[in-house]
Structure 1
C-alpha cells in the first residue's frame, strides 16, 4: 500500500506538469489563470486539512512522548542531544551552501547593476524579523491562539510544560494521560484519511503553477536552480552517510520508508504537509514514540537543513550577480549571522526570503537581488521542504540511537 501511494504521488506529479503545460500552450493567459485558480481550490483545501490536524497532533503526541519519558532529567538529556545535533547540522548545511556556491559560481557572468532589478516593497515582511520578536514569539500568550495560528514552536513550548508536569505528578495523572493518548490515536487516524487526498492536491498544485508560469519556469535560471539541487543532493548524501555511521545501515530502510512524505513535501512545497506521515513512518521504522514525538516537532522549528543551505547559497549568488566579492572574514561573519537568524524562520511568512533580505542589508548588498530569486523561489522551496523532511528524519533516528530507543521489532510489520 505504501508503494502504491508513492506511485500515485509520482504519477500525479507527472500528470500535473503535463496538464499544466497543455493549458498554458492552448489557452489565452486570462483563461489559463482562471483554470489555475480553480485548480488551486483543491490544493488550498488539502493544505487547510493539513493545518487542521497539525496543532492537535503535535500537542497530543509530544505530551504523551514526554510523559512517558520519566523525570525531567530524561527530557533535558534528550533535549540537549537533540539541540546539539541540530546545531551541528545547521553549521554543516550553511557551510556546504557557502562552499558549493563558490565552486559552481551560478551568478558569475550576469553582471547586473542594482538599477536593473526592482523588487516590490511587499515581497518580504521584515517587521517581524527582530531579536525581541523572535524571543517573545517562543512563548505563547494563549495556547488557543497558538493552535489557531498553527504556531508549532509555541505549541511545542506549551506541550513540553504539560508533558513534564504530567510526568512529575505522583500517579502520572492516568486519566489525563489516557485522554491525550486517545486524542493522539484519533488524530493519527484522521491523518490517514487526509493523506488519501494528497495525490489530487499534488496534481492541482503543479498543474496550476505550470499553467500560469509556463514550462519555461523549470528552465529559468537553470544554472542557479541546477546548482542548488546538486547541493541538496550532496547534503542528502552526507546526512544519510552520517546516519549510517551513527545508526547503522538499517537507516537506509528509513530513507526508503519516508519517500512518500518526502515526495509530498516536495510537490506541495510544504514541510507541514509531510509532518503527520513522517511521524508515522519514523515509528514504523522503529524510532520510539516518545523520541519521535519529541524530536520531530523541534526539528520543524530548529532543524531546517534545506532552508539554511539556501540562505548562504542564494545570498552569495546575489553577490556574484552584482560582481561583489566578500572577504573571508565577511563570509565567516555571514555564517555566524545566519546560524542565529535562521533559528527564527519557523512561523515567519516566506521565511527564507526574510532571512536573505536581512543578510543583504547587513552586508550592504543590493536588496533588489531578492527579485532575482523570487521567480524560482517556489521551485526551490520544493527541494528545501523535501530536504527538511530527510534531515529531521535522520535527526530523529540518530537521537533514538543515542538514547537506545530504536525498537527493532517495530520494523517487522512493515514487511507484511
Structure 2
C-alpha cells in the first residue's frame, strides 16, 4: 500500500503540474489565475486542517506511551540516560546543520512569493521570541487548554510529566498506560487515513501553485530538493564519522548491515516500515536483544535526525520564499523549539509535516507556506526517513558499546567486501 501511495503521489504531482500549466496558459491574467488557484487550493486547505486536527492527540498519546514503557527507574537512569545523551546531541547537530545549510544555500530566496492576504499584516514579531517568553510559554497553565489550542510545546511538557508519573506508579497505572497506548495506535491509524489523502492534496497544491505562479517555480523546487539532499549527505558523513570515532570499524559494519532497512525506508518514505529488519540487523552487529528492544523504539520517538533537519530546512525555506527576515536570535529560539516539539512524533509517512505545520503557526509564519513544500514532500520524506534509520542504527550500537557490550564481532566476509570496496 505504501509503495502504491508513493506511485500515486508521483502521478498526482505530474498531473498537478500539467493542469496548473494548462490553467496558467489559458488564463494568463494574474487576478484570474489567482482566483482559480484559490478554488483549487480549497482541497489542500482541508488537508491542512486534518493535519492540525491530529497534532495534539498524536503528540500526547505517543509520547506518554513511549516514556511510560521505558522500564523501571534504574533502566531509565542508566540505559535511558545514555541513550538520551546521544539523542539530544544528535538532534542538536542535525538541526544545526540544517539551519546552517539552508542559510548558506538560500533555496527559497529567489521565489519572492507575496504573503497570503489574510496573513499580510502578521509577520514575525521579535517581541514574542525572547528566551524568557519561550521558557514561560513552555509550561502550560491548563493541560486541557494546551490540547484544545494545539499548543504543541505545552503538550510535550505535560506528556513527559504524565509519562514519568505513570512509569513511577508501576502496576497501579498499568491499565491507564495500556489504554493510552491503544489510543496512540488509533491516532496513528487516523494519521494513516489522513496521509492517504496526500495524492489529492499534492495534486491540488501543485496545480494551484503552477496556475498562479507559472511553471518557472518548479526550478526553485529543484533547487530546494537538491539543497536538502546535499545537506543530508553532509549529515550522513558526520554521523558515520562520529560513529567511527566511538565504534571503530564496527561503525562500517553497522552501515553495511542497515543497508537493507535504509533502502526500505527510502522506497516507502517511512522509517517505521524498516523497524522489523532493523532489529534483526542490529542483533547481527552484535547488539543484545535487551538493548535493541529498548533503545531502538526510544530512538524512533526521540532520534529522528533526518526529520529534524528537514524541520529547520522547511521552515526557513518557507520564510525565505515569502521574503520574511528571521534574525539569528530568532533562528536559535526556533531551533530550540523544534528540538522539543519534534520529540514523540511517530515515524509515519510525512509525519514531519505535522511538526512544520505546528512550528509555522507557533512562529506566526503563513500556514499556507506548507503548501509550498507539500508538492515535493514525498521525495524529501524518502531521504529523511532513510536518514532516521541510519541514525538509529548507529545510536543503538553506540549505547550498547557504552553499556560494555562487545559489539566488535571480528572480521567477516561482509566486512572484507566492505573494506575492499572502500
**TM norm structure 1:** 0.62
Q: How does 1:5-404 map to 2 (within 5 A)?
A: 73=74, 75-115=76-116, 128-135=150-157, 137=159, 139=163, 141-143=176-178, 146-147=181-182, 149-150=184-185, 221-346=221-346, 350-404=350-404
| Shift of residue 219, structure 1, vs aligned partner | 7.6
Asked whether the 8 Å contact 1:288–1:406 carries over to 2, the reply is: no
Distance 1:263 1:89 in 2: 22
Residues 114/210 of structure 1: CA separation in 2 closer, same or farther (3 Å cut): closer
| Shift of residue 410, structure 1, vs aligned partner | 8.4
| Shift of residue 404, structure 1, vs aligned partner | 1.6
Residues 72/370 of structure 1: CA separation in 2 closer, same or farther (3 Å cut): closer
Q: Deviations over 1:363-408 (max 9, x none)?
A: 3322221110011112111111101000111101111111121344
Distance 1:211 1:359 in 2: 24
Residues 282/87 of structure 1: CA separation in 2 closer, same or farther (3 Å cut): same
Asked whether the 8 Å contact 1:126–1:354 carries over to 2, the reply is: no
Asked whether the 8 Å contact 1:128–1:348 carries over to 2, the reply is: no
Q: Deviations over 1:236-273 (max 9, x none)?
A: 11000000001102211210111111110111111110
Distance 1:297 1:275 in 2: 9
Asked whether the 8 Å contact 1:117–1:369 carries over to 2, the reply is: no
Asked whether the 8 Å contact 1:279–1:292 carries over to 2, the reply is: yes
Q: Deviations over 1:32-51 (max 9, x none)?
A: xxxxxxxxxxxxxxxxxxxx
Residues 230/413 of structure 1: CA separation in 2 closer, same or farther (3 Å cut): closer
| Shift of residue 344, structure 1, vs aligned partner | 3.9
Asked whether the 8 Å contact 1:284–1:410 carries over to 2, the reply is: no
Distance 2:181 2:86 in 1: 27
Distance 1:312 1:259 in 2: 26
Distance 1:347 1:129 in 2: 21
Residues 313/132 of structure 1: CA separation in 2 closer, same or farther (3 Å cut): closer
Residues 286/218 of structure 1: CA separation in 2 closer, same or farther (3 Å cut): farther
Distance 1:116 1:211 in 2: 23
Asked whether the 8 Å contact 2:282–2:292 carries over to 1, the reply is: yes
Asked whether the 8 Å contact 1:152–1:297 carries over to 2, the reply is: no
Asked whether the 8 Å contact 1:152–1:301 carries over to 2, the reply is: no
Aligned residue pairs total: 309
Q: Deviations over 1:3-44 (max 9, x none)?
A: xxxxxxxxx99xx97xx88xx89xx99xxxxxxxxxxxxxxx
Distance 2:180 2:340 in 1: 26
Distance 1:219 1:279 in 2: 40
Please identify, of 381-390 and 286-295, the stretch whose mean Cα deviation from structure 2 is larger.
286-295
Distance 2:278 2:186 in 1: 19
Residues 77/258 of structure 1: CA separation in 2 closer, same or farther (3 Å cut): same
Q: Deviations over 1:326-360 (max 9, x none)?
A: 11111111111111111142379954223223322
Distance 2:257 2:182 in 1: 29
Distance 1:218 1:410 in 2: 49
Asked whether the 8 Å contact 1:114–1:369 carries over to 2, the reply is: no
Residues 211/343 of structure 1: CA separation in 2 closer, same or farther (3 Å cut): closer
Distance 2:354 2:203 in 1: 28
Distance 1:274 1:319 in 2: 33
**TM norm structure 2:** 0.62
| Shift of residue 136, structure 1, vs aligned partner | 5.1
Distance 2:249 2:186 in 1: 35
Gaps of 5+ in 2: 20-61, 120-146, 167-175, 189-198, 208-214, 417-422
Distance 1:347 1:152 in 2: 13
| Shift of residue 151, structure 1, vs aligned partner | 8.0
Secondary structure in 2 matching 1:285: coil
